[in-house]
A = this chain, B = another copy of it.
Amino acid sequence: MKSIFYSRFFILLPWILIVIIVIDIDTKRSSVRNTASFYFSRLGNVQQRQDARTTRTSSVSSSSRAGSNITSPPVIFAITPTYSRAVQKAELTRLANTFRQVPQFHWIVVEDSNSHTELVSRFLARSGLRYTHLNVFTPRRFKRKGMPRATEQRNAALGWLRGHRTSKDKGVVFFADDDNTYSLELFEEMRSTRRVAVWPVGLVGGRRYERPLVENGKVVGWYTGWRADRPFAIDMAGFAVNLQVILSNPRAMFKRRGAKPGMQESDFLKQITKVEDLEPKARNCTQVLVWHTRTEKVILGNEPKLQQDSLYIEV
């Protein structure tokens, strides 16, 4: 009798243990999974950072195009023209600090230079962002006061998009100058752009803000302090364009010929849209989520003529 009891006990015991262990695993794993997805939803950039490590530059690999997946949200392509100056690395640093928190983000940085500079190359490689590094030199004759700026750089970025993205890719294109200030909310607003979206911009045109005036969900005019007669009285930071609109209008670009500063936005937008088709964002254009900040030019009056420090330090 006793021996039967023991034999049954020893046969049942391990099965009971197995059941307990399996139940234990299931609860623990699902809790781990939930925690992980919580981080993910709040910090979608984690995925991106890993992507960035594998595909650093213009090469079009499958992981750099994760955003083209039907289930994932559109990739935001931010086009940033930049040029060498004392505050350049500082400006790029705070931009990257902001962009690193935007999920599904691809930074297109276009230098005004004859080749990739070491400073920008090193900076981007260490940024943890998915990026494309381009360069195009602005001819000296265009570098005068009263001339529109960064025309060649923005066009180079548009050219890159047309060469490396197709009708299968979901994306939104935004012109992110390197001295403006961007809130994270701005990127969530622009992500749903179907054709061309618009919103207010702070500290621009000599006013606290400029904004499109909206009635019944349509843009009907512009609140602006400067040249209200512009067809699109809006700053470069005030709109985003769906990638497919860029691709299906292959000749739309920023113009040098006849273009005046402040008219670049209008010249470009009228090639791809009409005022009545604009999609107002940021609660019908009543929230300022981006600011046209300007950084003071640094005066290096005390910089020694001959290098005085014992080593070269990048700033």
Chain A contacts to B: CB under 8 angstroms: 7, 10-11, 14-15, 17-18, 21-22, 25, 28-29, 32, 35-36, 39, 42-43, 46, 49, 86-87, 89-91, 93-94, 97-98, 100-101, 181-184, 200, 202-203, 205-209, 211, 223, 225-226, 286-288, 291, 293-296, 298-304, 308-309, 311, 313-315
Oligomer copy total: 2
Return 22 A-B CB contacts under 8 Å, by A number: A11-B11, A21-B21, A29-B32, A86-B208, A87-B293, A90-B203, A94-B94, A94-B182, A97-B98, A97-B182, A97-B184, A98-B98, A100-B101, A101-B101, A202-B315, A205-B302, A206-B301, A206-B303, A207-B303, A211-B309, A223-B308, A226-B302
A293 to chain B, nearest CB (A): 5
Which B residue's beta carbon lies closest to that of A299?
A: B206
Which B residue's beta carbon lies closest to that of A38?
A: B46
* Prevailing SS type, chain A contact patch: mixed
Kindly state the separation between the CA atoms of A200 and B39 in the bound complex, as whole angstroms. Answer: 35
Which of the residues B39, B89, B299 comes within 8 Å of A291, measured between beta carbons?
B89
Task: Give every chain B residue within 8 A of A36 (Cβ-Cβ).
Answer: 32, 35-36
A253 to chain B, nearest CB (A): 29
Task: Give every chain B residue within 8 A of A205 (Cβ-Cβ).
Answer: 302
Would A208 and B303 count as touching, CB distance under 8 A? Answer: yes
Would B294 and A315 count as touching, CB distance under 8 A? Answer: no
Kindly state the separation between the CA atoms of A289 and B243 in the bound complex, as whole angstroms. Answer: 36
Task: Give every chain B residue within 8 A of A183 (Cβ-Cβ).
Answer: 93, 97
Which B residue's beta carbon lies closest to that of A312?
A: B286
Would B32 and A42 count as touching, CB distance under 8 A? Answer: no
Task: Give every chain B residue within 8 A of A182 (Cβ-Cβ).
Answer: 93-94, 97
Which of the residues B32, B206, B294 comes within 8 Å of A302, measured between beta carbons?
B206
Q: A11-B11, A25-B21 are in contact. Are A207 and B97 (CB under 8 A)?
A: no
Would B203 and A315 count as touching, CB distance under 8 A? Answer: yes
Would B296 and A296 count as touching, CB distance under 8 A? Answer: yes
Kindly state the separation between the CA atoms of A100 and B100 in the bound complex, as whole angstroms. Answer: 11
Best-buried of A22, A89, A302 by chain B (most CB within 10 Å): A302
